[in-house]
Amino acid sequence: MNKVNLIEKLTKAFNDSPHPSLKVSNYFPIYSEIFGHLVDTDCTFIETGVLNGGSLFMWRAWLGKDARIIGIDLNPNARKWEEHGFEIYIGDQGDPKFWDSVLPSIGKFDAFLDDGGHQSFQQIVTLVKAMEYMKPVSVIAIEDTVTSHMNDFNQHGNRSFLEYAKDSTDVLAARSSSLWPDSYMQLRNPNILDLFAKVYSIQFFSGIVAFKANAAFATKPHHVINKDMGELARDYRYDGLTKSALVEWPDPFTTTIVQVSGKD
Protein backbone atom coordinates (compact mmCIF):
# COMPACT_ATOMS: atom_id res chain seq x y z
CA MET A 1 0.00 0.00 0.00
CA ASN A 2 1.52 3.33 -1.03
CA LYS A 3 1.73 6.34 1.25
CA VAL A 4 -1.27 8.14 -0.25
CA ASN A 5 -3.46 5.09 0.30
CA LEU A 6 -2.13 4.69 3.83
CA ILE A 7 -3.06 8.28 4.65
CA GLU A 8 -6.50 7.91 3.09
CA LYS A 9 -7.14 4.70 5.02
CA LEU A 10 -6.00 6.32 8.26
CA THR A 11 -8.11 9.42 7.70
CA LYS A 12 -11.14 7.24 7.06
CA ALA A 13 -10.42 5.24 10.23
CA PHE A 14 -10.25 8.52 12.16
CA ASN A 15 -13.53 9.82 10.74
CA ASP A 16 -15.31 6.49 11.16
CA SER A 17 -14.24 5.93 14.76
CA PRO A 18 -17.37 5.54 16.91
CA HIS A 19 -15.90 7.72 19.64
CA PRO A 20 -14.32 11.21 19.69
CA SER A 21 -10.63 11.75 19.04
CA LEU A 22 -8.68 15.00 18.70
CA LYS A 23 -5.70 15.01 16.34
CA VAL A 24 -3.67 17.57 14.40
CA SER A 25 -4.16 17.49 10.62
CA ASN A 26 -0.49 17.11 9.70
CA TYR A 27 -0.11 14.09 11.99
CA PHE A 28 -1.76 11.71 9.52
CA PRO A 29 1.06 11.69 6.94
CA ILE A 30 3.56 11.43 9.82
CA TYR A 31 1.73 8.45 11.31
CA SER A 32 1.67 6.87 7.86
CA GLU A 33 5.42 7.34 7.47
CA ILE A 34 6.49 6.01 10.86
CA PHE A 35 3.80 3.39 11.50
CA GLY A 36 2.66 2.46 7.99
CA HIS A 37 4.86 -0.64 7.80
CA LEU A 38 2.77 -2.16 10.60
CA VAL A 39 -0.54 -2.13 8.71
CA ASP A 40 -2.00 -5.65 8.41
CA THR A 41 0.59 -7.18 10.74
CA ASP A 42 0.35 -8.76 14.19
CA CYS A 43 2.08 -5.79 15.76
CA THR A 44 1.95 -4.52 19.35
CA PHE A 45 0.94 -0.87 19.39
CA ILE A 46 0.87 1.16 22.63
CA GLU A 47 -0.75 4.57 23.03
CA THR A 48 -0.43 6.69 26.16
CA GLY A 49 -3.39 9.03 26.66
CA VAL A 50 -6.62 7.57 25.28
CA LEU A 51 -9.13 10.18 26.51
CA ASN A 52 -12.49 9.36 24.90
CA GLY A 53 -11.23 6.19 23.24
CA GLY A 54 -11.63 7.31 19.65
CA SER A 55 -8.00 6.80 18.70
CA LEU A 56 -8.01 3.19 19.94
CA PHE A 57 -10.67 2.34 17.40
CA MET A 58 -8.82 4.33 14.74
CA TRP A 59 -5.62 2.37 15.27
CA ARG A 60 -7.43 -0.96 15.18
CA ALA A 61 -9.28 -0.08 11.98
CA TRP A 62 -6.06 1.11 10.33
CA LEU A 63 -3.56 -1.48 11.57
CA GLY A 64 -5.91 -4.42 11.14
CA LYS A 65 -7.54 -7.18 13.13
CA ASP A 66 -4.28 -8.86 14.12
CA ALA A 67 -2.85 -5.78 15.83
CA ARG A 68 -2.58 -5.76 19.61
CA ILE A 69 -3.75 -2.30 20.68
CA ILE A 70 -2.85 -1.17 24.21
CA GLY A 71 -4.06 2.01 25.87
CA ILE A 72 -2.53 3.69 28.91
CA ASP A 73 -4.20 6.47 30.88
CA LEU A 74 -4.34 8.01 34.34
CA ASN A 75 -8.14 8.11 34.28
CA PRO A 76 -9.50 4.85 35.80
CA ASN A 77 -12.64 5.19 33.65
CA ALA A 78 -10.50 4.28 30.64
CA ARG A 79 -10.85 0.64 31.72
CA LYS A 80 -14.22 0.60 29.99
CA TRP A 81 -12.42 0.21 26.67
CA GLU A 82 -11.39 -3.28 27.72
CA GLU A 83 -14.95 -4.33 26.85
CA HIS A 84 -14.10 -3.55 23.23
CA GLY A 85 -11.04 -5.78 23.12
CA PHE A 86 -8.32 -3.30 24.01
CA GLU A 87 -5.75 -3.83 26.73
CA ILE A 88 -5.87 -0.95 29.21
CA TYR A 89 -3.41 -0.02 31.93
CA ILE A 90 -4.05 2.74 34.45
CA GLY A 91 -1.18 4.71 35.92
CA ASP A 92 0.98 7.81 36.05
CA GLN A 93 3.28 8.03 33.03
CA GLY A 94 5.58 10.46 34.84
CA ASP A 95 6.38 7.85 37.49
CA PRO A 96 9.23 5.49 36.48
CA LYS A 97 7.91 2.88 38.93
CA PHE A 98 4.66 2.70 36.97
CA TRP A 99 6.52 1.77 33.81
CA ASP A 100 8.68 -0.71 35.71
CA SER A 101 5.52 -2.50 36.82
CA VAL A 102 3.64 -2.35 33.50
CA LEU A 103 6.11 -2.77 30.66
CA PRO A 104 7.33 -6.23 31.73
CA SER A 105 3.71 -7.39 31.56
CA ILE A 106 3.21 -5.90 28.10
CA GLY A 107 6.52 -7.09 26.72
CA LYS A 108 8.41 -5.73 23.75
CA PHE A 109 6.48 -3.59 21.31
CA ASP A 110 6.58 -2.53 17.67
CA ALA A 111 5.27 0.99 18.16
CA PHE A 112 4.71 3.33 21.08
CA LEU A 113 2.87 6.63 20.73
CA ASP A 114 2.93 9.08 23.62
CA ASP A 115 -0.15 11.31 23.47
CA GLY A 116 -0.41 11.64 27.22
CA GLY A 117 0.14 14.56 29.57
CA HIS A 118 2.58 16.44 27.29
CA GLN A 119 4.63 17.79 30.20
CA SER A 120 8.32 17.50 29.43
CA PHE A 121 9.19 15.33 32.42
CA GLN A 122 6.36 12.95 31.50
CA GLN A 123 7.55 12.71 27.91
CA ILE A 124 11.16 12.15 28.94
CA VAL A 125 10.36 9.49 31.55
CA THR A 126 8.08 7.72 29.10
CA LEU A 127 10.72 7.72 26.37
CA VAL A 128 13.51 6.51 28.66
CA LYS A 129 11.49 3.65 30.07
CA ALA A 130 9.97 2.65 26.73
CA MET A 131 13.38 2.39 25.06
CA GLU A 132 14.12 -0.61 27.26
CA TYR A 133 11.30 -2.56 25.61
CA MET A 134 11.76 -1.73 21.95
CA LYS A 135 11.84 -4.65 19.54
CA PRO A 136 14.91 -4.85 17.28
CA VAL A 137 12.90 -2.91 14.69
CA SER A 138 10.46 -0.53 16.34
CA VAL A 139 9.57 3.11 16.91
CA ILE A 140 8.66 5.44 19.78
CA ALA A 141 6.84 8.63 18.80
CA ILE A 142 6.36 11.51 21.21
CA GLU A 143 3.67 13.82 19.92
CA ASP A 144 2.44 17.31 20.67
CA THR A 145 6.01 18.39 21.27
CA VAL A 146 4.84 21.96 20.69
CA THR A 147 4.14 22.00 24.43
CA SER A 148 7.88 22.49 24.94
CA HIS A 149 7.24 26.08 23.83
CA MET A 150 3.82 26.71 25.42
CA ASN A 151 3.28 28.94 28.45
CA ASP A 152 0.98 26.38 30.06
CA PHE A 153 3.81 23.81 30.05
CA ASN A 154 6.84 25.98 30.79
CA GLN A 155 7.70 24.61 34.24
CA HIS A 156 10.59 22.73 32.65
CA GLY A 157 12.57 25.93 32.15
CA ASN A 158 15.31 25.31 29.61
CA ARG A 159 15.10 21.53 30.10
CA SER A 160 12.20 20.87 27.76
CA PHE A 161 11.50 17.62 25.99
CA LEU A 162 12.52 19.13 22.67
CA GLU A 163 15.87 20.14 24.12
CA TYR A 164 16.25 16.58 25.40
CA ALA A 165 15.44 15.22 21.96
CA LYS A 166 17.87 17.60 20.24
CA ASP A 167 20.64 16.66 22.64
CA SER A 168 19.88 13.00 21.99
CA THR A 169 21.21 13.45 18.47
CA ASP A 170 24.60 14.13 20.05
CA VAL A 171 24.42 10.62 21.50
CA LEU A 172 24.03 9.13 18.04
CA ALA A 173 26.95 11.21 16.77
CA ALA A 174 29.09 10.11 19.71
CA ARG A 175 29.03 6.53 18.44
CA SER A 176 31.61 7.66 15.89
CA SER A 177 33.94 9.12 18.52
CA SER A 178 36.38 6.20 18.37
CA LEU A 179 37.06 6.96 14.71
CA TRP A 180 38.87 10.15 15.73
CA PRO A 181 40.27 9.39 19.21
CA ASP A 182 42.74 12.26 19.16
CA SER A 183 40.32 15.01 18.19
CA TYR A 184 36.83 14.02 19.36
CA MET A 185 35.61 15.52 22.63
CA GLN A 186 36.13 13.24 25.61
CA LEU A 187 33.11 11.11 26.45
CA ARG A 188 32.38 11.53 30.15
CA ASN A 189 28.99 9.80 30.23
CA PRO A 190 29.20 6.45 28.40
CA ASN A 191 26.06 5.27 30.19
CA ILE A 192 23.94 7.55 28.02
CA LEU A 193 25.23 5.72 24.93
CA ASP A 194 23.96 2.49 26.47
CA LEU A 195 20.55 4.06 27.11
CA PHE A 196 20.15 4.92 23.42
CA ALA A 197 21.89 1.78 22.19
CA LYS A 198 18.84 0.51 20.27
CA VAL A 199 18.06 3.82 18.58
CA TYR A 200 19.18 4.05 14.97
CA SER A 201 17.66 7.41 14.03
CA ILE A 202 15.79 10.35 15.54
CA GLN A 203 13.33 12.08 13.22
CA PHE A 204 11.87 15.52 13.87
CA PHE A 205 8.48 16.41 12.43
CA SER A 206 6.15 19.31 13.11
CA GLY A 207 4.75 18.31 16.52
CA ILE A 208 6.27 14.81 16.67
CA VAL A 209 9.69 13.33 17.36
CA ALA A 210 10.23 9.68 16.40
CA PHE A 211 12.96 7.47 17.87
CA LYS A 212 13.53 4.49 15.58
CA ALA A 213 15.25 1.26 16.53
CA ASN A 214 16.97 -0.98 14.02
CA ALA A 215 19.36 -3.52 15.49
CA ALA A 216 21.01 -4.11 12.12
CA PHE A 217 22.12 -0.49 11.83
CA ALA A 218 22.41 0.85 15.40
CA THR A 219 26.01 -0.31 15.59
CA LYS A 220 29.36 1.27 16.34
CA PRO A 221 30.63 2.86 13.10
CA HIS A 222 33.97 1.95 11.60
CA HIS A 223 35.91 3.12 8.58
CA VAL A 224 35.55 1.18 5.34
CA ILE A 225 37.65 1.55 2.19
CA ASN A 226 36.45 0.32 -1.19
CA LYS A 227 39.94 -0.02 -2.68
CA ASP A 228 43.59 0.89 -2.16
CA MET A 229 43.64 4.66 -1.84
CA GLY A 230 47.23 4.99 -3.03
CA GLU A 231 48.51 8.54 -2.76
CA LEU A 232 45.98 10.65 -0.86
CA ALA A 233 44.66 13.80 -2.50
CA ARG A 234 45.62 17.01 -0.71
CA ASP A 235 42.96 18.25 1.72
CA TYR A 236 41.97 21.85 0.92
CA ARG A 237 39.29 22.29 3.58
CA TYR A 238 41.20 25.02 5.44
CA ASP A 239 42.68 26.73 2.38
CA GLY A 240 39.74 28.92 1.42
CA LEU A 241 40.03 32.67 1.88
CA THR A 242 36.69 32.78 3.73
CA LYS A 243 37.13 31.87 7.39
CA SER A 244 33.64 32.53 8.79
CA ALA A 245 30.01 33.11 7.84
CA LEU A 246 27.18 35.24 9.19
CA VAL A 247 24.07 33.10 9.60
CA GLU A 248 20.59 33.62 10.94
CA TRP A 249 20.24 31.12 13.76
CA PRO A 250 17.12 28.91 13.44
CA ASP A 251 15.34 30.34 16.48
CA PRO A 252 11.63 31.08 15.91
CA PHE A 253 11.45 33.27 19.03
CA THR A 254 14.24 35.74 18.31
CA THR A 255 16.04 37.13 15.29
CA THR A 256 19.65 36.30 15.96
CA ILE A 257 22.52 36.78 13.51
CA VAL A 258 25.70 35.03 14.58
CA GLN A 259 29.15 34.60 13.14
CA VAL A 260 30.24 30.99 12.78
CA SER A 261 34.01 30.78 12.50
CA GLY A 262 36.27 28.16 11.02
CA LYS A 263 39.94 27.37 11.40
CA ASP A 264 42.46 30.06 10.46
CA distances (Å), origin 237, targets 13, 225, 258: 53, 21, 22
Phi/psi at 76 (5° precision): -60, -20
Classify 51 in phi/psi space as left (phi over 0), alpha (psi -120 to 50) or beta.
left
Residue-level pLDDT at 129: 98
CA torsion, ordered 142, 144, 150, 156, to nearest 10 deg: -20
3-214 is a CATH 3.50.50.60 domain:
no
pTM of the model: 0.95
Residue-level pLDDT at 176: 92
Mean pLDDT of 143-155: 95
Number of CB atoms found within 10 A of residue 183's CB: 7
pLDDT band at 1 (very low <50, low <70, confident <90, very high): confident
In the chain, how many H helices and how many E strands? 7, 9
Tell how far CA 248 is from the center of its chain: 27
Please check the confidence at residue 189 and state whether its pLDDT lies above 80: yes
DSSP string, 22-42: ---TTHHHHHHHHHGGGTTS-
Please check the confidence at residue 171 and state whether its pLDDT lies above 80: yes
* Domains of the chain by residue range: 3-214
Residue-level pLDDT at 228: 86
Please check the confidence at residue 264 and state whether its pLDDT lies above 90: no
Please check the confidence at residue 28 and state whether its pLDDT lies above 90: yes
Sign of the torsion angle spanned by Cα atoms 149, 34, 195, 133: positive
Mean pLDDT of 186-210: 96
CA torsion, ordered 25, 29, 34, 37, to nearest 10 deg: 130
pLDDT (tens digit per residue) in 33-89: 999 999 999 999 999 999 899 999 999 999 999 999 999 999 999 999 999 999 999
pLDDT band at 135 (very low <50, low <70, confident <90, very high): very high
Residue 208 and residue 142 in contact, taking contact as beta carbons nearer than 8 Å: yes
Phi/psi at 16 (5° precision): -90, -5
